[in-house]
Structure 1
Amino acid sequence: MNSLITSDWVRHLKISFVGTALSLSVIGATANETWATPQNQTIKQTIQTLEKSDQRWIQVNLSTQRLIAWEGGKPVYAVIISSGKKSTPTRVGTFKIQSKHKSTRMRGRNYDVPNVPHAMFYQGNYGIHGAYWHKKFGTPVSQGCVNVAPNHAKWLFDWASLGTQVVIHK
């Protein structure tokens, strides 16, 4: 069993009991301090492992609205994306490309878009695909997918295979 509490954490924890309830406080933490979450740690470890490999993988940085295609630790292609807007965010995590479609129709609650080019789905209806209906790359505008310009979507589609890892983080 892996423990999330390291010796570094123990030095900064105040543990107390109030009745039967356990209370944990972080000593010396400021409001601006960001503590690593298990998901962030998993993403960081996955990136470190992939960088040491010779595998092809895709990194999506939601904070910078950038996608980088990697071969191990070597970046081979980089593009500006449009991820999900606040009301329909792009999911953070590590995924694998599960299906590829040269062209597909995408439907949702507020959209119905035919002929979406070079779609690669990594979790359910979430995918990386070309977007011919807008030019707002660099701005989150999608329904949760990772939008790229159609010419970039084609390059990624031709380069990636089923099972290619996709790492999405903030």
Structure 2
Amino acid sequence: MRIKTSMRISRNAPALLIAALASTPAGARVQIHVDLSTQTMHVTSAQGSYAWPVSTARAGYVTPRGHFSATGLQAMHYSRKYDNAPMPHSIFFHGGYAIHGSYATGSLGRPASHGCVRLAPGNAAALYQMVAAEGASISITGSRPTRAAHYASSRYLSHAAYASRRDYSNPLQFLFGE
């Protein structure tokens, strides 16, 4: 497997590559599955299994579906297409599409990106390290959640639960809240 990285190759690269291959069990790869319908990522690696919320393409954009391999890793990438936006711990898998960290953690769990798969920064760093050590097989399935499912986010449910506790038979509470 060939993974392009942003690191410079040193004279010791062949010895380091042999050492890395010797320490990695044959065929060991991180299995990454992104479910667009639930906006979750399931990861299985030699280090364990994880389930993380993600953000994928919002309306008007597309996150590609299919089976991919990691094609490049960059510890810090800046998007040339979207205002130099930071993309920490980028794992490229299909052209300019990547799995990467996002500082917009409040959007995780619902569609919000231009097509990339966004993760919390700590989860992206952990995944990056796993993929650098083991390689990766990436599958993306499902479809963008419907608008009704989007509105069923935890933030909306919290607001709905709060609103349902109000007693609208009391005109003062109706006008002024609690």
- Residue 70 (structure 1) aligns with: 44
Q: Give the corresponding residue for 2:163.
A: none
CA–CA separation in structure 2 for the residues paired with 1:133 and 1:79? 15
- Partner of 1:169 in structure 2? 141
Amino acid at match of 1:92: R
Residues 98, 163 of structure 1: 8 Å contact kept:
no
Q: Which has the higher helix share?
A: 2
Query: Is the deviation greater in 136-145 or in 160-169?
Result: 160-169
Partner of 1:145: 116
* C-alpha distance in structure 2 between counterparts of 1:126 and 1:137, whole Å: 17
Match of 2:31 in 1: 57
Instruction: Give the alignment's Cα RMSD to 1 decimal.
Output: 2.1
1:26-54 deviation per Cα after TM superposition (whole angstroms, max 9, x unaligned): xxxxxxxxxxxxxxxxxxxxxxxxxxx85
* Deviation, structure 1 residue 169: 0.2
Q: 1:166 and 1:140 mapped to 2: Cα distance?
A: 19
Structure-1-length-normalised TM-score: 0.62
1:87-166 mapped onto 2 (5 Å cutoff): 87-108=60-81, 111-161=82-132, 163-166=135-138
Q: 1:133 to 1:55 in 2, by over 3 A?
A: closer
What secondary structure sits across from 1:135 in the alignment?
helix
Partner of 2:15: none
Provide closer, same or farther for how the CA distance between residues 70 and 134 of structure 1 changes in structure 2, counting only shifts above 3 A: closer
Larger radius of gyration: 2
**How far is 1:132 from its partner?**
1.1
| 1:112 CA displacement | 1.4
Whether the 8 Å contact between 2:73 and 2:90 is mirrored in structure 1 is yes
For the residues of structure 2 that align with 1:134 and 1:69, how far apart are their CA atoms?
19
More strand by share: 1
Return the letter of the residue paired with 1:96: S
Distance 1:144 1:125 in 2: 9
Residue of structure 1 equivalent to 2:53: 80
Give 1:56 deviation, angstroms: 2.1
Does the 8 Å CA contact 2:29/2:131 hold for their aligned counterparts? no
Please report how far the alpha carbon of residue 158 of structure 1 lies from its aligned counterpart in structure 2 after TM superposition: 0.6
Structure 1 residues not aligned, in runs of 5+: 1-52
Q: Using structure 2 for the length normalisation, give the TM-score.
A: 0.59
